[in-house]
Chain A
Amino acid sequence: MAEYSCLIVEDSPMMRQLLVFALARVKNLRVTEADDGVDGLRKLASARFDIIITDINMPIMDGLKLVKRVRSDPVHQATPIVVITTEGSQEDRQRALQLGANAYITKPIQAPQVIAKVKELLKIE
């Protein structure tokens, strides 16, 4: 059975833990955590990931900059990216999608919603 790897980029430990709990329900998915955009880029440089979930509002490097950097990275330019937005802001979502994100989830996140989105993008039954 295929194994998948997921990178979660989120500055809130609470949100990271929630996402890790949610994604533990997806079989054969290995999850790596990063505190912010810079930490995320560091981890992306050292390993290949099948999907990236990133928060938009983060210190140091926000999610939008991260999406832009990932899309110019030859290794991960086609990797699906899901962005998490705090506000119901249409603007943030549009900007993220324009920069190359594949989908978005709005907070407060619901585990079944996260699982469904990840499975859909990884084409897991």
Chain B
Amino acid sequence: MTGDKKGRRSDRPLPELKKERDSFIQTFFKKGAQFSQELVNENSKLRHRVSELEQESTRLRTQLASDDAIRELLKKIEGLEREKKKLLSRFEEAEAASSKWVDQYTEVEGELANFANLYVASYQLHVSLSFRHTVRQIRELLEQLVGASIFAVYLQKSDGRTLAPIVADGIDKPKAIAIDPDDGGIGEVFSTGVAQIERGHLEAGSIDNPVALVPIKMEDRVVGVFAIYATLEQKPRFLPVDFELFKLLGAHAAAALVCAKLFADAGHKIPSFDSFFDPEM
């Protein structure tokens, strides 16, 4: 017992030890506080970092969503571009088809106008049995439909050797022409029955250089020639319809003139139905 007491007494810290202990405790607590502070600081830093990362994550998520939207938009733009290309291609096709229709329409309108010209020419040549009217129609046909400015229509005289003008325009003193098969002009056309028509520019036309010489035929016999020496300035070349008009005039003019002459000779008497079946005809 006593020994224990002594022992306890001997365990009592010495002042140096106490001091050392206090110093240790102080240091311990100081370090603890320091460590705690460091932990608090670290914690604060980590919280800040977490907050930053959360913000970054939000931003990235937003960006991702935005990228998706852009990708979506780009896809839509590509689709629209394809659609636009398709529509443009269809538009071009439609435009080409429309242009083709316009061309065809213009061509048909042109053909109709040509037919109208031919119909009118034929109608006017035969509508009257007056010789004067028929001659006037031949003149108008050449002047108004063909656009001739200097021209003449010659018919064979009874002597068989000369052609005399029945229509002349733009010529001072139209005179009869001797039929010469080798003259390279009117005489040749009359003798051969083959027309001579300038297919190029008509500016060079003159009395000495006709631009069209066309035989006038009665059935297969050549009875005259019409000559175009010059055309109006707005008629620089003959059109396809003019060649048809030349054929029509060459084939119909003589018949129309002969009919008118015979009708006048018959005292403008119209043959009766019976006369068409007269066995002597």
Contacts and interface: CB of A to CB of B under 8 A. Distances in A.
A25 B146 CA distance: 22
B261 interface: no
B210 interface: no
Contacts, number: 63
Interface in A3-39: 12-15, 17-18, 21-22, 25
Contacts of B117: 18, 111
Among B110, B137, B144, max chain A CB count under 10 A is at B144
A111 B118 CA distance: 13
A108 B147 contact: yes
Contacts of B145: 14, 18, 108
Contacts of A14: 120-121, 124, 137, 140-141, 144-145
Contacts of A25: 109, 112
A73 interface: no
A57 to B, nearest CB: 11
Nearest to A88: B233
Contacts of A102: none
Contact of A21 (B120, B141, B144, B234): B120
Given A14-B144, A15-B144, A112 B123 contact: no
B113 interface: yes
A107 B120 contact: no
Given A87-B232, A107-B232, A111-B116, A17 B123 contact: yes
Nearest to A89: B233
B144 A12 contact: yes
B273 to A, nearest CB: 29
Interface residues of B, number: 26
Given A106-B234, A108-B146, A15 B113 contact: no
A108 B232 contact: yes
Interface residues of A, number: 20
A17 B127 CA distance: 12
Given A25-B109, A88-B234, A112-B110, A107 B121 contact: no
A110 interface: yes
A86 interface: yes
B235 interface: yes
B268 to A, nearest CB: 20
B120 A108 contact: no
Among A14, A86, A88, A106, max chain B CB count under 10 A is at A14
A108 B116 contact: no
A21 to B, nearest CB: 4
A14 B235 CA distance: 19
Given A14-B120, A21-B120, A111 B234 contact: no
B206 interface: no
A106 B116 CA distance: 18
Interface in B65-123: 106, 109-110, 112-113, 116-117, 119-121, 123
Contacts of B188: none
A13 B234 contact: no
Among A22, A25, A108, max chain B CB count under 10 A is at A108
B108 to A, nearest CB: 11
22 contacts: A12-B140, A14-B120, A14-B141, A14-B144, A15-B140, A15-B144, A17-B120, A18-B117, A18-B120, A21-B116, A21-B120, A22-B113, A22-B116, A86-B144, A107-B232, A108-B146, A108-B235, A110-B113, A111-B112, A111-B113, A111-B117, A112-B106
Q: Which 9 A-B pairs have the closest CB atoms?
A: A111-B113, A108-B147, A88-B233, A21-B116, A14-B124, A17-B120, A14-B140, A88-B234, A106-B234
Given A18-B120, A106-B234, 12 more contacts: A12-B144, A14-B140, A17-B124, A18-B117, A21-B116, A21-B119, A22-B113, A86-B144, A88-B232, A107-B144, A107-B147, A109-B144
